Chains A and B, each alone.
Chain A
Amino acid sequence: NAGVTQTPKFQVLKTGQSMTLQCAQDMNHEYMSWYRQDPGMGLRLIHYSVGAGITDQGEVPNGYNVSRSTTEDFPLRLLSAAPSQTSVYFCASSYSASGIFEQFFGPGTRLTVL
Chain B
Amino acid sequence: ELKVEQNPLFLSMQEGKNYTIYCNYSTTSDRLYWYRQDPGKSLESLFVLLSNGAVKQEGRLMASLDTKARLSTLHITAAVHDLSATYFCAVDGEYGNKLVFGAGTILRVKS
Contacts and interface: CB of A to CB of B under 8 A. Distances in A.
Interface of A: 31, 33, 35, 40-45, 48, 50, 58-59, 90, 94, 96, 99-108
Interface residues on B, range: 20 to 34
B98 A40 contact: no
A33 B95 CA distance: 12
A111 B11 CA distance: 28
Interface of B: 4, 9, 30-31, 33, 41-45, 48, 50, 88, 90, 92-93, 95-104
A35 to B, nearest CB: 8
B43 to A, nearest CB: 5
B52 to A, nearest CB: 14
A43 B101 contact: yes
B97 A44 contact: no
| Best-surrounded residue of B9, B41, B50, B97 (most CB of chain A within 10 A) | B97
Contacts, number: 63
What 6 A-B pairs have minimum CB-CB distances, sorted nearest first?
A: A42-B101, A101-B96, A31-B97, A43-B101, A105-B43, A105-B42
A90 B35 CA distance: 14
